[in-house]
Chain A
Amino acid sequence: MLGSAIIVFRETLEAALIIGIIAAATQALPGRNRWLAAGIAAGIAGSLVVASLTEWIAELAEGTGQELFNAGILGLAAVMLAWHNIWMARHGMQLARDARQLGKDVAEGGRAMSALAVVIALAILREGAETSLFLYGLLTGGEETFATVISGGAIGLATGAAAGYALYAGFLRIPARWFFAATSGLILLLAAAMASQMARFLVQADLLPSLASPLWDSSWLLANTSALGRFLHTLIGYEAMPSGIQVVFYAATLILILIGMRLCRLQPQIPRTA
């Protein structure tokens, strides 16, 4: 039971932390909860479909289907996060200021939220598919009973979700004047982390050169297996032993999004008269 609890916790944690950040970053957007719920539901449904297709996906592209699939999901999620940050750089201030124009806000908030709901769905899809495969293996392996597997899984899920909620609650304590910078900064790093993981899968599939494997080894300082290492791996893409190309993807994503945010930022303008 403990075994299933630990693995479900690990898989849940990644998705839960991502949901925690996104929920905090969008707390001011109208219609947020509906979009969050839609993203979570779509992710769970999708993960069951992906889990049932695992063997088929694995055999695609001469046995590299799984890597391509994961890389595609991570790439799409990174693009959605980038788009959100650039959009918020342009409209975020306005959105907060023009609270009166409720009708317009709901529509615009919806546009901003839809991209992040996709990110949530993709995060759950990836982690959820692995979790359901693992639980399925335990159940058919016959070494544990249905009750212990399910209760272990439920404990893991609850603990992971609690960690995500704790992150969310912590974020809401950030003073208002830093809040926007903090959340968009973290979403920026999250996008870079996903791009770096995407590069790792493409190296694993032999579609990209690793450039250096590893470029450095900081596992003596902070190992990927430690609790803090895992936490930072999910949030900001920390790797104790990254390949060179991962660092290239990470840095390029950061720079491109920052340029996008800078180019799209609205100049301070004279308030419109309605």
Chain B
Amino acid sequence: MKTLARLPLALLALALPLSLWAADTEFALVIRNHRFEPAELRVPAGQKIKLVVHNQDSTPEEFESHELNREKVIPGGAKANIYVGPLAPGRYPFFGEFNEKTARGALIAE
């Protein structure tokens, strides 16, 4: 029973560092007509950021970046959160794998 009572405390202790490193700056990206808007997004280097990608098309898209080491399918009309970084200063291209010709963009970390 004693251990059971301590469980919430233990969970809280676990969640605390999680929530600490989850306090991040948010940046919004929109997918419209198979293009990213804005195509270039300036973000701070050296800290973790949260990208909120809103796919306003009716078809699904896959956000992918080899430089950021990220991939995520975003259903039509849906929003997706993608955590990246902390990044070294530089340019990090990303693309929509399902519409690679038009859906291209980059994060500029500075």
On whether the beta carbons of A134 and B72 are closer than 8 Å, the reply is no
Interface size class of A (residues with CB under 8 A): 35 or more
Question: Which residues of A line the B interface, CB within 8 A?
Answer: 3, 7, 54-55, 58-59, 62-64, 66-67, 130, 133-134, 136-138, 140-141, 200, 203-207, 209-210, 213-214, 219, 223-225, 239-243
A58–B86 alpha-carbon span in the complex (Å): 24
Kindly identify which residue among A7, A58, A138, A141 contacts B74, using a CB–CB cutoff of 8 Å. Answer: A58
A250–B101 alpha-carbon span in the complex (Å): 34
Interfacial chain A residues near B84, Cβ < 8 Å: 213
Interfacial chain B residues near A64, Cβ < 8 Å: 81
A2–B84 alpha-carbon span in the complex (Å): 32
Interfacial chain B residues near A54, Cβ < 8 Å: 60, 73, 75
Interfacial chain B residues near A134, Cβ < 8 Å: 60, 62, 97-98
Residue of A nearest to B77 (CB): A55
Question: Which residues of B line the A interface, CB within 8 A?
Answer: 18, 21-22, 48, 50, 58-62, 66-67, 69-70, 72-76, 78-87, 97-98, 100-101
Interfacial chain B residues near A207, Cβ < 8 Å: 18
Residue of B nearest to A4 (CB): B98
Interfacial chain A residues near B21, Cβ < 8 Å: 206, 209
**A-B residue pair count with CB separations less than 8 angstroms:** 82
A-B CB contact pairs (8 Å), 19 listed: A3-B100, A7-B97, A58-B73, A58-B80, A133-B73, A133-B75, A134-B97, A134-B98, A136-B59, A137-B59, A140-B58, A140-B59, A141-B59, A204-B82, A206-B21, A210-B86, A213-B85, A240-B66, A241-B69
**Interchain nearest-CB distance for A65 vs B (Å):** 10
On whether the beta carbons of B86 and A206 are closer than 8 Å, the reply is no
A200/B72 contact (C-beta < 8 A), A7-B97, A55-B78, A137-B98 known: no
**Interchain nearest-CB distance for B80 vs A (Å):** 6
On whether the beta carbons of A67 and B72 are closer than 8 Å, the reply is yes
Interfacial chain B residues near A200, Cβ < 8 Å: 69
A240–B69 alpha-carbon span in the complex (Å): 9
Q: A63-B81, A204-B72 are in contact. List 7 more A-B contacts (CB 8 A).
A: A3-B100, A67-B72, A137-B98, A207-B18, A239-B69, A240-B66, A241-B66
A213–B88 alpha-carbon span in the complex (Å): 8
On whether the beta carbons of A224 and B66 are closer than 8 Å, the reply is yes
Interfacial chain B residues near A239, Cβ < 8 Å: 69
A-B pairs with the 10 shortest C-beta distances? A137-B59, A206-B83, A55-B75, A224-B66, A63-B81, A133-B60, A141-B59, A134-B98, A137-B60, A54-B75
On whether the beta carbons of B75 and A63 are closer than 8 Å, the reply is no
**Interchain nearest-CB distance for B98 vs A (Å):** 5
**Interchain nearest-CB distance for A206 vs B (Å):** 4
**Interchain nearest-CB distance for A39 vs B (Å):** 23
On whether the beta carbons of B73 and A63 are closer than 8 Å, the reply is no
**Interchain nearest-CB distance for B51 vs A (Å):** 10
